[in-house]
Structure formats: C-alpha cells, structure tokens
Structure 1
Amino acid sequence: MNESQYNTVQNSTLPTSQDDLILSVIEQLKTQVVNYTKINQDNKQVNELLTAELERYRNQERVLKEQINNNQASTSYENSLEIENLKHTLSERLKEKESLSQKITILKNDFQKEESRNIDRELALKKQALGSQNPCYLKKAQQLKPKLYDGCVIEKSEAIVFPDTKETLLLAEESRSKMIEKQNDPKMTEK
C-alpha cells in the first residue's frame, strides 16, 4: 500500500468512503496479485523453456565431445595402423636389400672365380701356343727336329719327309678333333 493511499484512508472520516477506499485498495491489490501471478507463470514457462533448451545444449555438447573423442581415437588408430604398415614395408625393403647385397657378394665371388679360371685357361693356351720350352713337354717329333718348332723361320726350304707312323696319325687326328672342339666352343668364339 502506498503512503498516499494510507493517508487518504486515515483522513477520511466517513465510514463509507473508508470502505470504498479499502475496497478500491483491495481491488488494486488483487489486480497486482493477478499481474504478479501472471508474470510468475510467464517466468516459469520461460524457465521451463530455457531449462529444456539448456538440457538440449548439454546433450549436444556431450554428443560432440563423444564424437571428438571417437574421432581422435579413430585418427590415432589410423595413424598407428599407418605406422605399422610403414614399419612392415621398411622391414621388407631392408630384407630385400640384404638379400640383394648377399646376391651381389655371391656374384662377385663367382665372377672372381670365373675370372681366375679364365686367366688360368689363357695361360695354359699361351703355353700350348708357345710349345713350352721344357723338353719333357715336347713330343717326339719336336724332340727329333727342334728347329721346326722353335718359332724361327726355316732357312732352307727343304721339305722334310716324315714317315706316317701310327703315332703321327693319332696325333694328327687328335689335333684335328681339338681344333674342331675349339671352333665349336662358345667361350673361344667370344674371344
């Protein structure tokens, strides 16, 4: 109640006017109560709406946090899978490299052995071509007429007649067969 209304109620001496005034004040108070009740109901509705909206936002926040956690977990899982795949690939490449280096070592050793054999063969062929000056390697015909086999030019153009013995025929046949073998040998044709 306002002070002016209170003063008005006390100043009036007439009971009827006092009653009217009280009724008027009561009516005003009823109106104010109705207004405040309506405002309270409106506030309750707004509070309920805001509470529901707040709950909805909290649910969305929880769902988003779960999605972020799931995304982070899946991303880290994918990254770990990729790392494992890369490790596996690296391991395979290292094994392949080791295998290739072993093959290279084996091939180098084989090449050196083959080269050594070829050098030995070449030396043996040179010895055969030179006729080897050691008399124990000379054949009987070479021992009898050494001037024919010493690599010097024969001074006289005399034809030397050799009797055809079994040994010379065998040597000639053997020589022919060796020459044919050398012609057919692919290693000799490469040189």
Structure 2
Amino acid sequence: MRALIEQGTIPARQVGRQWLIDQSSAHRPAASRPLANRMRANLLAILSGDAPEGLSTSERARLRRYRNELMHSPDPDRILGAWIREEAPLKLQVAARDLADLAADERIVKSGFSDPRAEIAAAGQLEARVAKDDAAAIRREYLLRPSERPNVLLHLTDEKPPSPLPLGLLLVDLAHHDGVRERSRVAELLRKVDD
C-alpha cells in the first residue's frame, strides 16, 4: 500500500505516523495491463490524429481493436489509464502572483485541466508538461515547493512536448486524475476524435 501511495497511484496524506486515504477518491483497479512501448506510442499517435509507424499487419489489427475498445467503452478513462501508465506529476505550490507567469513560460506546455481543449475551469491552478532538463530551473525560478495542497501539477517528460500538446497525451493526463470532471472529459474528447 505504501508503494502505491508513494507512486501517486492512491491519493493519501500523512498525519503523524498514519497515512489517511481519502475515501471520496475510491481506488480504481487497473482495467488491463500496460501496453508495450511501441503499441503505446502508436495508440497515442492515432488518438492525436497521426498515422501509426513501423507496425506489422497483425499489430495494426491489434491497434484497431485497442482503439475500438477505447471508443466504445463506458469507462475509457479507466482503460487508457491502465494501458498508458506514467509517473505521477510533481505536486507543487507557487505563489498566486507568479502563477500567470509560470503558465506563460515557454518551457512548459499546458496539459490536463489547464489545456483549453479540456474545457475545465481551474482558476488558480496549473497542470503542465515540462522537459526533465528544465524542471529544476523552473522550480528554482518560480520558487516551486512540494505541497500536499498543490496549485501546480508538473508532468516530467524526456523532452519538451509540442504545443499544443498532442491530444493523446492530453487524454492520458486527464485519465489519470481522480476527479469526475477530468475523467468524463476523456469520453467527450474521444467522441470528437471518432467524428
């Protein structure tokens, strides 16, 4: 249980020596096992409107099945979250007066609830992706500190993603949230992909 808490899989907070798990954010067991790296990359590509690359005929058929399963599932957020696992974002706090400057910083790319396509009002909060090489400088420049009550969620990536963020990555970030509004947007955005 402790490992799941430290990975960010189960939201919890420490009070003294005890860990308290918020029952309102019920732990949702994985719907499936994670996809292999190549299949993951190609699923993200087709969800983002790009063509799959380097797949055999049987892999293309499997990818179509994955896409169809996702599109027709009543819980696509749960399936996508299981297929594409990522490290939990850094939970940070920034001074309210610096939030707009951080959001405008060219080294970050808005994601999750901060991406305009999510259509989620999250005043006073920011969710973004940043290259691992830029993370330390951004944390130092904006005095970002770890927090149990964060107003900034930073997803670390090997390199800076394109802006706007590919739709597949936006869907993944929304799918990993515990909130109903974020998870429900996965299904709504997938319906737009299917049109």
The normalised TM-score by structure 2 is 0.16
Structure with greater strand share of residues = 2
Structure with bigger gyration radius: 1
- Which structure's relative contact order is higher, taking Cα pairs within 8 Å and 6+ residues apart? 2
The normalised TM-score by structure 1 is 0.16
Structure with greater helix share of residues = 1
